[in-house]
Structures are given as C-alpha cells and as structure tokens.
Structure 1
C-alpha cells in the first residue's frame, strides 16, 4: 500500500467492505435513500469499519496503528488532507454535515480500550463502552440528516447501545475464543455461569437463563429509544426505523434460541426485519413500542 497507514483494506468501495456492510445493522434501509445521503453514510461506515478492523485484525502494534489513524483523522478538522483514501472520502461528509470530531475520536477510543480491557464487571461499565463504540454512530447518522436536537441524541444512544448489546449476545462464543467477555461478570456470578462455559458448543442451563435475561434487558433498552422514530420525518425516519427494526429482528432471533446462543443460529431473518420495519412505519404517531 502506498499510504503510510497499515490498515486492513484500501478503499470504502472494496468488495469485502460492501459485503460486510450488507451483513450488519448499520446500513438497514440504506439502498432506499437518495444518493447524497447514501454516499455520506457509506463514507461514515467505511471509516467506522476501518477503525474496528484496525483494532480487531491489524497485524503488529494495533495501539500504535489506532493512534496513527486518529492523527490522520485529526487532519480533517485541521483543514489538512488525510493520508488514507478512506479518510479523504470522509472529509467532504464532515464539512457538508458538520460532523463533530469527538464522535470519531470516541470510536477510536473504544478500539484502544479493546486492546487492554477484555472484561466488564457490571452492565453500567459495559454501557460505558457502548457510549464509545456504538452511540457515536447514531449521532453521526442523525447529523447526516440534519437532526441535532438533544432529546433525539439521547434516544439514539439508547437504540445504539441496545444494538451493540444484541450484537455481543450473538457473538458470545466468538468473543470468548478471541479472549473477550462482554457479559457482565456480576451477571455471570449471579446466574452461576463459569466463564469457561462460554466456549462450549452448546449453552448450559444456567447460561441459557443468563442469556434470556440479557436479551430481555437489551430489548427493553431498545424499546426505550424506539420513540425516536416518531420524532423524525422523511429519510431520517426511514433510516432510524431500519435500525430499530434490525434490533427487534435480532432480539427475536436470539429469543428463538431459548438462550442457547452457542449452539443455535441467532441471525435475524429478512422476513422478520421487513415485518418490523413495516410495523414501525405504519404505526400510528406516538406509539412506537412493540
């Protein structure tokens, strides 16, 4: 690579990036948007994905590479030209949508935290991590659509934190094998689950009970933020409805496992996503919960 940053992939339009984007909650309803909004969200997604890939997959000193990436990001707000092409594509979006540097700094900080923190004692500690790793994405999306009301940002944070939790509950075994446990340690203890059980092929009775509890908590958090949809209009409403629908469909898939997230597939179905999205968009104003 000609650029100085040693990052996992070169450009936001790479096939691998597009395939991963289609597989995750972030781009729900993306293809229905006007090109201007779609391209802004593509550029944001590309940077968020690059930051995560650097923290999770980069060879060598990941902390140093994340710091280097943050320095390159800083150039956008300093009026300078970033080194990496993914960041150069973000620069016009930052200017046109007036995106705050702090939101991207928090994404980098989340990945720096991942390099040294692999366990969370309480749910509150885990939600603190979500405030770095997930909540900025929702706030960026709102700004892309010109929404900057504080109460909308608060509701968005709840939706995004819930989506992050649901993603963790889908990946319990994968995370454990990678050396990370996102289930709060106090919950493991309360439900009598030994951490080693997270690496099994099938969830134990105690783990299934714990996972049902965690799924219910994440779903309640999602629904507490769902009224955001009713605060929005036009394309912003469609996009955020897509986030909420994706979360509901994921919660459904997790619940179908009966808590056995180790031995059963917890992937949401397209039919479930479509059903929730339609229900959200057609629901009378003021009623946005399930």
Structure 2
C-alpha cells in the first residue's frame, strides 16, 4: 500500500476542537498546519480499516524517515522537518506522536486510568507542547497544557467509544472500570448504553473534568494574547462536552456540539479569558484597586 491508500480525506476543519483557527497569528498557522498534516497522516495510517499491522507500522516508519530528512518517503514528514528547521524547533513532539500511533496499531486495550494517561502523554500532550514552543512560550506551562490535552483526548475517546470498538476493535475505556460494573468490551457494540456503562462513562468524564479544573489557569498564563484566547475557547468547549458526557449516552445520543453551540461556547470562552487578562493588567497598573491597609 502507498501513502495515498491510507488517506482518509479528513482535514483540520473536521476536528472536534479548533486547529490553527483565526485566533492564532497568521504567520504561525502554516507551521501548525504542517504539524497537523503530519499527525493526520499518522492517524489515518493507524486507523485504516483494512491494512494489517505490518503495513501500518511500515507506513509510520516512512513518516519518520521523512521527518529525518530522507527524501521520497513522506511528504508530510519532509514538510514538517522543513518547518522545524526553519524555526529552530525540536522534532521531539513529532516523535512522541509516532510512538502513540504505533501503540494504536499494536495495543487495543487499556488496563486502567494510569495506562490511559501514559498513552495521552504521547498522543495528546505533544500537540499542545509544539504549539507552545512555536509561540515561544515557557515549558513551565507544559503541566497545564498536558492536563488540557489529556482531557481533550479522553473526551474524544468517550464520544467515539462505540465507533472505535466496532470499526477498529480498539477500546480506550479502561478495562478495570468495565469489570467493576460487571461488563466486558462487547457492551460497546450495543445500540444503547446500559446503566452500568453509563456510570463508567460518567465517571471517566468526571476525571476528565478534574483535568480541566487543573488546566483552567492555562490560558491566563500564556503570554501570546491570541493563543490565550484560543486556549480559552478550547477549555470552554471541553468543559461543556464533559458535562454532556456525564448525562448523555454516546452510544445512542449526540454528544458533539453543532455549529451554533460551538460558536456560542467559543465566544463565551474567549470573552472570559479576555476579561480576566484585562482585569489582571489593570490591577497590575493600579495596585490600589486591590485595596490597601492603613
């Protein structure tokens, strides 16, 4: 199989969360899109419905070869390498993503929350870390980034749990959580989630919510104003999805936002960050606003 055989046709506008939106500085969007195209190519390989594991791993190796500068193996890898070299950025985050996609090919079950979080460390956190590096932000923000990105990954897993099982026999819902409710993975093949499965999903959604509690200060600590607004938008969208997953059955009910819902949440999330930054700036310039003792 060649690279074209793995392409899903999915683009950055098809994702559940913003990718290189208009909030991001225009001169940085091409670099983010190069990283996205690399990640999308690897994701398409790992999720291909008919290719076998050997074919998938070989194609991921081709992506890595392109990232290393070997010509003729992967356009996406070569393009990302050029972007990284031009901006003096590390390829570490791209390599971490490849580790996650190789796991997708070879690992179909996750024993517990800890194992899932280890996967998210490679599958989700590198995306945000790359964006932070690109903007020249401090790596001191990485823990907040990792909490947000891991929450987003868990949300996507829960929304797509039935599809992942039916089409790929891949289950990110920790097996110990299912077993605690007397369930096995076949419960994800049903047209409607049982009360037991609903409890499992709601519990995992609450844990994703706890990650979002940790990431809430993230946007305010980002120096770049436009990136801060984008992170605020993503935080608001994620918090809303967690609340839905606590109440809704992803096997039989829609969890994803429609366009109007997403737009309203995005506006609210951006405004919250903008107002908090404004209050902080005004407070820093006029310390007397915080009150004085005398």
Deviation (angstroms), 1:163? 0.5
What secondary structure sits across from 2:68 in the alignment? helix
Aligned pair 1:66/2:49, yes or no?
Answer: no
Partner of 1:13: none
C-alpha spacing 1:175/1:9, structure 2 compared with 1 (3 Å): closer
Q: Deviations over 1:23-77 (max 9, x none)?
A: 32453561233321111111111111111111112745101111122122112xx
Aligned pair 1:187/2:177, yes or no?
Answer: yes
C-alpha spacing 1:142/1:127, structure 2 compared with 1 (3 Å): same
Partner of 1:111: 101
Aligned pair 1:272/2:262, yes or no?
Answer: no
Structure 1: gaps spanning 5 or more residues: 11-15
Partner of 2:162: 173
C-alpha spacing 1:187/1:73, structure 2 compared with 1 (3 Å): same
d(CA) in 1 for partners of 2:207, 2:125? 17
Which deviates the most, 34-43 or 87-96? 87-96
Backbone CA RMSD of aligned residues = 2.4
C-alpha spacing 1:86/1:21, structure 2 compared with 1 (3 Å): same
Partner of 2:6: 8
Deviation (angstroms), 1:89? 2.8
Q: Map residues 41-190 of structure 1 onto 2, 5 A cutoff.
A: 41-57=32-48, 59=51, 61-75=55-69, 83-147=73-137, 149-177=138-166, 178-190=168-180
Q: Is the 8 A contact 2:233 2:267 kept in 1?
A: no
Structure 2: gaps spanning 5 or more residues: 282-294
C-alpha spacing 1:194/1:9, structure 2 compared with 1 (3 Å): closer
Q: Map residues 28-39 of structure 1 onto 2, 5 A cutoff.
A: 28=19, 30-39=21-30
Which deviates the most, 155-164 or 218-227? 218-227
Q: Is the 8 A contact 2:34 2:80 kept in 1?
A: yes
Deviation (angstroms), 1:5? 4.5
d(CA) in 2 for partners of 1:228, 1:184? 27
Which deviates the most, 134-143 or 29-38? 29-38
TM-score (norm 1): 0.84
TM-score (norm 2): 0.83
The structure with more radius of gyration: 2
d(CA) in 1 for partners of 2:106, 2:78? 29
Q: Is the 8 A contact 1:73 1:82 kept in 2?
A: no
Q: Is the 8 A contact 2:65 2:74 kept in 1?
A: no
